[in-house]
Amino acid sequence: MIAALKLLRSAPFSARLGLGMVLVTLLAAILAPVIAPYGETEVSGDVWLQASKDHFIGTDNLGRDLFSRLLFGARNTIAIAFVITALSFVAGVIWGFLAATVGGWMDQLLSRCVDIMMAFPTLIFALMVLSVVGTSIPALVVVIALLDSTRVFRLARAVAMDIEVMEFVEAARLRGEGLWWLMRHEILPNAMPPLVAEFGLRFCFVFLFIAALSFLGLGIQPPTADWGSMVRENAGAITFGIYTPLWPAAAIAFLTVGVNLIVDWFLYIASGLED
Amino acid sequence: MKLPKLNSITALVLKRTGLGLVTLLVISLLIFVGVEALPGDLAQAVLGQSATPETVEAFRKELKLDLPAHVRYFTWLGAFVKGDFGNSLANRRPVADLIGWRFVNTLFLAAVTALVAVPVAVLLGILAALYRNTLFDKLISMVTLSTISFPEFFVAYILIALLSVQVAVFPSIANINPQMNLWQKLYAICLPCLTLALVVIAHMMRQTRAAIINILSSPFIEMANLKGLRRLRVVVRHAFPNALSPVINVIALNLAYLVVGVVIVEVVFVYPGLGQLLVDSVSKRDIPVVQASGLIFAATYVLLNMLADVLSIASNPRLRNPR
C-alpha cells in the first residue's frame, strides 16, 4: 500500500492525467443511476436539441437526454469490457502458464493453436461468428474473450518461461509441489507487473472493439445505452451540422487515451530505460 | 537422386509459403465450421419463426445441409477455389459478382492509403528518433498516442465535421463508380483515405521511431560517431540498412491492419467496398457472402503477414544464413 502511494507520487504528469481521466469515467459509470437527470431510455425532449439547462448536452435522435445516456453507456460498456478482459485474462494466463510449465507437446499444441487463431483478423472472425450466433451479450462476451485470450497467452507464456527456469521453482518442484501450486504460488506472484500492464492495454482494446462492433450494429443492441451504438444512431446528424455523434465518440476516445497514458507509464517503468 | 541445393532465400520463401497455405486451409476449415456447426440451425434462422417444417426441410435440401459435414466442406472448398462462391441468400445472385468489383474498390482505397501513409510515417519516425526528447518528438508522441486511442469512426466523423460540413471541401459520402476517371475517384476517397492514413501513420511512426532508437544506441553507431563521421553519413550508411528489417516488418504488419480497419471506414463513408458488403451481409445473415468475403479478407491478411515475415528475414543478412 505504501509502495503504491510512493509510486503514484513519482508518476509523470501524463500518467496522473491518465489516472484522473480513468477515475472520472469509472465514477461516472458507478454513480450513473444517482447523478443521471433522466432515465436510460426516457424520451424527454425534441429530437437533436442543443445544450440547454434542461438537457446538459442536448438530446439524441429519439429525444432522449444525451448526458444520461452517456452515463449509463459508460456503465454498460465498461462493465462488459471488464468482464471480457477478466475472462480472457483468466483463460490466457492459465493456458500460458500451463504451456510454459508443462512444456513439450502441450506447449507445441497450444502454441500452434494460438498461432492459427492469431492469424485471423479479429474483426472479421467476430463478425462471422456473430452473424451465425446472433448478437446476444453472452455470445459477444465469449467470442471476444476467446479471441483476446490468444494475446494474453503469448505474454503469459513468455513471462512464465522466464520465471520457470529460476532456482526457487526448481526447488519447489523437488519438494514435490503440484503443478497447480507451482503456477499459483511461485509463478503468478512474480509475473504480476507485466500482466497488470497488459490487463490495462487489453481492456483498452476490448473497449474499442466493443465500440466498433456496436458502431457496426452488431454489438450491444439498442435501446441499451452504449457509446458505440450511440455514435451509430446519431451519425445522420453530422450532415446537418449537428455534432451530436461526436459526444459518445469523444467519450470513447477520452477513456482509451487515459488508459493508454497509464499503460505507457507502466511500460516505461518496466523497461527501465534511462531515455 | 539428389535434389539440387536450394538457395537459402528460395528455401525460406517456399517454407513460409507452405506455412501460409496450411494456415489458410485451417482458416477455411474454421470459417466453415464456425458458420455451419455453431448453435442455431441455419435454415431455421434464415427462414424465421413462421416457417413451416416442410419449408425448412426444402431449404435445407437446397443448401445441401443434409449432406454430412465433411462432404459439404470439400464441395464448398472445391467450388471456392474454382471461383464459384455460391449464390447470395439475399438476392440470389452469384456471390462472385457481388464480391469482384467491391474487392477491387477496397484494394484501391487500401493502396492509395498505403502510398500516402508509408513514406510519411517512416520519415516522421526517423525524424522523431533523430530529434528524440525535443519538443518536436514529444509533440508527435502525444499526437500519435491520441490518434491510436481514438476509435476510427471518431477520427472519421471529426474529419467529416471539419472538412465536409464546416468547410465543404470534400464529399462526406465516398461513392465511386466505374464511370469516374482516376482523378474523380481520388477526390471522392480523400476523406476515407485521410482517416485511415492518420491511424496507420500513428501506429507506424511509433514503431519506426522505437526501432531506430534501438539501432542508434548500438555500439557500432557509437563507434561511427567516435570515428568522427558526419551525422548524415552515420544515419544513411550505418543506421538505415540495419533499420530496414524491423521497419519493413512494421510496414507490412500495418498494411495487414489496414485491410481490417478499412471495414469501419467503408461503413462510415458508405464506400462500396468489400468491408461494407461484409457488414451488411452479417446483419442480413447472408451466410454464403459472409463466408466468401470473410475468407478473402483472412487470405489477404495471412498473405500480408507472410510477406512481412519473408521480407524482414530477407532484408537482414544475419537471419538469411542462420548458423
Burial track A193-217 (b if 16+ CB lie within 10 A, e otherwise): ebbebbbbbbbbbbbbbbbbbbbbb
Does B27 reside within a domain?
Answer: no
Q: Are A248 and A64 in contact (CB under 8 A)?
A: no
User: How confident is residue B41, by pLDDT bands cut at 50, 70 and 90?
Assistant: low
Residue showing cell 570515428: B227
Instruction: Look at residues B220, B201, B218, B198 and name the one whose alpha carbon lies nearest to residue B209.
Output: B201
Asked whether residue B313 is assigned to any structural domain, the reply reads no
pLDDT at B108 over 80: yes
Residue B256, C-alpha cell as written in the block: 495487414
| Interface residue of A13, A132, A247 to substitute, partner B, most B CBs within 10 Å | A132
Predicted local confidence at residue A86, as pLDDT: 93
Is the pLDDT at B66 greater than 70? The verdict is: no
Torsion of CA B283, B287, B293, B296, to 10 degrees: 140
Q: Determine, yes or no, domain membership for B64.
A: no
Residue B237 resides in a domain: yes
**pLDDT tens, position by position, B161-184:** 788 777 777 777 777 776 777 777
Q: Average of pLDDT values for B138-159?
A: 82
Interface touch A128/B42, C-beta < 8 Å: no
Determine whether A244 is exposed, middle or buried from the number of CB atoms within 10 Å of its CB (0-12, 13-18, 19+).
buried
B267 contacts on A by Cβ (under 8 Å):
215-216
Contact A65, A38 (CB under 8 A): yes
Q: What's the mean per-residue pLDDT of chain A?
A: 81
Question: Which amino acid, one-letter code, is at A101?
Answer: T
> Over pLDDT 90: what percentage of chain B?
0
Using CA atoms, how far apart are residues A149 and A90, in angstroms rounded to an integer? 8
Residue B85 lies in a domain: no
pLDDT digits (tens, 9 = 90+) for B206-261: 888 877 877 888 888 888 888 888 877 777 778 777 877 777 877 877 877 787 78
Query: Containing domain of residue B253, as a range?
Result: 99-287
Asked whether the beta carbons of residue A127 and residue B279 sit closer than 8 angstroms, the reply is yes
Q: Which string of DSSP letters, residue by residue, matches A184-219? A: IIIIHHHHHHHHHHHHHHHHHHHHHHHHHHHHTTSS
- What's the distance, Cα to Cα, between the start and end of chain B in Å? 27
Residue B13 has pLDDT above 50, yes or no: yes
What is the percent of chain A with per-residue pLDDT over 70, rounded to a whole number? Answer: 94
Query: Cβ atoms within 10 A of the Cβ of A164, count?
Result: 20
For B94, the 3-state DSSP assignment is strand
Q: In this complex, which of B45, B132, B260 lies closest to A121 when CB atoms are compared?
A: B260
pLDDT on residue B60: 66
- Say which DSSP state B5 is in: P
What average pLDDT score do residues A143-158 get?
87
Is residue A186 a contact partner of residue A172, using CB atoms and an 8 Å limit? Answer: yes
B136 pLDDT band (50/70/90 cuts)? confident
> What is the 8-class DSSP label of residue B65?
T
Set of chain B residues whose Cβ sits within 8 Å of the Cβ of A128: 31, 34-35, 282, 290-291, 294
DSSP string, B281-315: HHHHT-HHHHHHHHHHHHHHHHHHHHHHHHHHHHT
Does residue B303 sit within a domain?
no
Give the whole-angstrom CA distance, residue B50 versus residue B29: 32
Q: How many domains does chain B have?
A: 1
CA–CA separation, A17 and A265 (whole Å): 11
Length of chain B: 323
pLDDT of residue B83: 63
**Where does the pLDDT of residue A275 fall: very low under 50, low under 70, confident under 90, or very high at 90 and above?**
very low
Measure the CA–CA gap between B210 and B214, rounded to whole angstroms: 6
- Using a 10 angstrom Cβ sphere, with 0-12 exposed, 13-18 middle and 19 or more buried, the burial of residue B293 is buried
pLDDT at A31: 84
Q: Which pLDDT score is estimated for A4? A: 64
- Per the confidence metrics, is the pTM higher than 0.80? no
Beta-carbon separation of A275 and B133 below 8 A: yes
Highest mean pLDDT, choosing among A2-16, A49-63, A240-254, B111-125? B111-125
Rounded to an integer, what distance in angstroms lies between the CA atom of residue B148 and that of residue B182? 31
| Domain containing residue B228: CATH number | 1.10.3720.10
Whether the predicted pLDDT of A83 surpasses 90 = yes
Residue B274 resides in a domain? yes
**What distance in Å separates residue B1's CA from the closest CA in chain A?**
34
Query: What's the angle, vertex CA A145, arms to CA A139 and CA A146, rounded to 5?
Result: 90
Report pLDDT for A274: 42
> B262 CB contacts (<8 Å, ≥6 apart)?
B106, B109, B110, B196, B273, B275
Query: Is A212 in contact with B34 (Cβ distance < 8 A)?
Result: no
Q: Write phi, then psi, for B321 (nearest 5 degrees).
A: -120, 80
The rounded distance, in Å, linking the Cα atoms of B46 and A104 is: 45
CB neighbours (10 Å) of residue B288? Answer: 20
For residue B29, give the C-alpha cell.
476449415
* Per-residue pLDDT, B62: 64
- Residue A215, pLDDT score: 84
Q: How far apart are CA B284 and CA A217, in angstroms?
A: 11
Q: Does a structural domain hold residue B183?
A: yes
Average model confidence (pLDDT) for chain B?
Answer: 77
- pLDDT at position B190: 84
Largest CA distance in chain A: 73
For helices B8-36 and A122-133, the axis angle rounded to 10 degrees is 20
Side chain identity at residue B165, one-letter code: V
CA distance B149 to chain A (A): 5
The alpha-carbon gap from A172 to the nearest alpha carbon of chain B, in Å, equals: 36
User: What is the C-alpha to C-alpha distance for residues A244 and A250, in angstroms, rounded to an integer?
Assistant: 10
**Overall average pLDDT of the A92-112 stretch:** 85
How far is B285 from chain A, CA to nearest CA, in Å?
Answer: 6
Q: What angle do CA A267, B129, B306 make, to 5 degrees?
A: 75
Residue B37 pLDDT grade (very low, low, confident, very high; cuts 50, 70, 90): low
pLDDT tens per residue across span A196-234: 878 888 888 888 888 888 888 887 777 788 888 888 888
CA-to-CA distance for B165 and A108, rounded, in angstroms? 55
In chain A, the percentage of residues whose pLDDT exceeds 90 is 4
Assess A264–B contact: CB distance below 8 Å, yes or no: yes
CA dihedral B77, B279, A137, A34 (to 10 degrees): 170
pLDDT of the residue at B68: 63
